[in-house]
């Protein structure tokens, strides 16, 4: 998936919550309708077969309830996207990342190979299952973990045993920690704990830029990896660190150099997104427009994590993941710059967003209402977030109703309609969209605060899920009303600016 991820450690966020956020973007020319669901333990499969990889696996017998944002169309599998389970552990999967020929030659991806011929006939070759991938990870991991670290360990074990057919990055969070895992070839993986006072920017490129093998092989405080990673690096000459010959056993290396890429594709598709996110969140830390190494859209050395200049809010996360290089010549909606400059880089806020999930585990609150999943659909510059408490048995109809047919009963389709209409009239519709976003985000925060107070006043934790479900539905309906009103306003503007308009009319 051509996605963008932003991770915010708990000491870098305004309210002390670790924040895991990722846009799920479809490939060019395709759009995948999404919906939000709650998967109850009785609905979780006990035997799972992936659609793309055709690999079959037996699953543990006691899954936790969890939320998920699956594809509406099941032709390529579930694609659970992101969710939070009953133990208040969050998972976002996955961010497609890059690799290089040395890695893929040393540990090839595990791709599905269809059977050839019929059994018993000459030349028959049986089917070879592929590994697991983006369609599978949430379903295979999230129902079975109780900490972020356990998520890394379970997914790492699955990758080691079964392999994967693609390179991906996956985030796990609980109330204190965020862990980021990156696949390395078909079976290998590395993971780092996000520094608590840092944020991480991930734009479809292998990102971790420093890794300590001694920690991964020992206490694993901040690093975890495949057990044979040191030998894998050595045997295939993957570590490109220049070292003193007397210090050949040094344990710290740069995975981005060993396992990643620095292609021209990266410089127009990936690195500009990291540059703009860091430019926005650390505006005075670098001379971002100088073109200097380490601070340019083409830089291969932008840090994986950085301490922000101030504490970050939910709105900061949403704004960054909606951005299209505002304030620069690369903004496709700006009159500044040339047409070539305005189309030079892939925007973060792109037309083919399927969904954005911001996963928030709020420490210090009771477990029964600690977790929130903020969700929006379609192109982020034009949409808004709906907050959803995850300790519930069902989701609001406005988030769950997404058929193949376009319908304003669906938050997904209404958001996509607004974006498609507003894009061609960006300047004219922007004031209405900004007012809508301000109003709906304020409504969301007020609804969360009111639900927190109501849940805190209940007599027992057993009463909380029904209260939260009612709160979810109420705020979804409020935002539905505002979204319908925005659709009407944008439609009116777009209709008045049709190319077949004429200024004279009958009186």
Q: What is the DSSP letter of 43?
A: G
Residue 99: what are its φ and ψ, rounded to 5°? -150, -165
Which of the residues 3, 419, 443, 448 is marked catalytic? 3
The angle that helices 426-456 and 464-496 make with each other, rounded to 10 degrees, is 170
Task: Please give the C-alpha separations between residue 486 and each of 315, 477, 481, in angstroms, as whole numbers.
Answer: 20, 14, 9
Element containing residue 22 per DSSP (H, E)? strand 19-25
| Integer Cα distance of 214 and 180 in angstroms | 18
> Are β-strands 47-49 and 386-389 bridged in parallel, bridged antiparallel, or unpaired?
unpaired
Beta strands in 174-271 (DSSP E): 178-184, 188-193, 199-202, 211-212, 223-225, 252-253
State both tokens at 466: 């029904």
Of 436, 409, 357, whose CA–CA distance to 79 is shortest?
357
Residue 92: what are its φ and ψ, rounded to 5°? -125, 120
Q: Is 3 a catalytic residue?
A: yes
Of 212, 180, 213, whose CA–CA distance to 305 is shortest?
180
| Integer Cα distance of 331 and 157 in angstroms | 43
Residue 424: what are its φ and ψ, rounded to 5°? -75, -10
Q: Is 426 helix (H, G, I), strand (E, B) or coil?
A: helix
Catalytic residues: 3
């Amino acid at each position: 998936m051509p996605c963008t991820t932003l991770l915010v450690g708990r000491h870098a966020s305004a309210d002390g919550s670790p924040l895991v956020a990722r846009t799920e973007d479809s490939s060019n020319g395709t759009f995948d309708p999404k919906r939000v669901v709650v998967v109850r333990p009785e609905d979780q499969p006990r035997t799972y077969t992936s659609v793309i990889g055709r690999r079959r696996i037996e699953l543990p017998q006691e899954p936790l309830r969890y939320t998920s944002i699956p594809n509406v169309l099941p032709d390529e599998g579930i694609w659970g996207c992101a969710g939070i389970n009953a133990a208040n552990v969050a998972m976002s999967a996955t961010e497609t990342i890059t690799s290089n020929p040395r890695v893929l030659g040393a540990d090839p991806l595990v791709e599905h190979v269809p059977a050839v011929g019929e059994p018993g006939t000459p030349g028959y070759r049986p089917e070879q299952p592929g590994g697991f991938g983006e369609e599978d990870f949430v379903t295979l991991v999230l129902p079975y973990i109780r900490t972020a670290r356990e998520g890394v360990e379970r997914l790492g074990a699955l990758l080691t045993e079964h392999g994967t057919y693609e390179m991906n990055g996956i985030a796990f969070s609980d109330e204190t920690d965020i862990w980021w895992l990156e696949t390395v070839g078909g079976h290998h993986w590395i993971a780092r704990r996000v520094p608590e006072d840092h944020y991480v920017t991930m734009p479809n490129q292998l990102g971790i830029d420093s890794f300590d093998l001694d920690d991964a092989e020992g206490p694993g405080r901040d690093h975890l990896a495949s057990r044979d990673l040191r030998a894998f690096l050595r045997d295939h000459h993957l570590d490109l660190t220049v070292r003193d010959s007397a210090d050949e056993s040094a344990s710290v290396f740069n995975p981005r150099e060993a396992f990643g890429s620095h292609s021209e594709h990266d410089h127009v598709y990936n690195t500009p997104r990291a540059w703009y996110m860091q430019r926005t969140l650390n505006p005075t830390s670098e001379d971002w427009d100088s073109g200097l190494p380490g601070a340019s859209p083409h830089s291969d050395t932008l840090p994986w994590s950085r301490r922000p200049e101030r504490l970050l809010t939910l709105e900061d996360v949403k704004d960054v993941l909606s951005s299209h290089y505002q304030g620069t010549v690369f903004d496709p909606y700006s009159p500044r710059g040339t047409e070539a400059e305005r189309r030079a880089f892939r925007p973060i806020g792109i037309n083919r967003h399927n969904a954005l999930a911001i996963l928030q585990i709020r420490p210090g609150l009771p477990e029964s209402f600690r977790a929130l999943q903020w969700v929006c659909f379609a192109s982020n510059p034009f949409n808004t977030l709906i907050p959803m408490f995850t300790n519930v048995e069902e989701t609001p109809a406005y988030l769950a109703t997404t058929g193949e047919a376009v319908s304003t009963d669906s938050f997904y389709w209404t958001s996509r309609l607004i974006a498609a209409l507003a894009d061609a009239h960006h300047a004219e519709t922007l004031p209405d969209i900004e007012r809508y976003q301000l109003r709906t985000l304020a409504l969301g925060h007020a609804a969360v605060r009111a639900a927190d107070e109501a849940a805190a006043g209940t007599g027992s934790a057993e009463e909380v899920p029904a209260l939260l479900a009612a709160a979810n539905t109420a705020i979804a309906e409020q935002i539905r009303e505002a979204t319908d009103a925005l659709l009407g306003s944008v439609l009116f503007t777009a209709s008045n600016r049709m190319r077949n308009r004429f200024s004279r009319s009958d009186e």
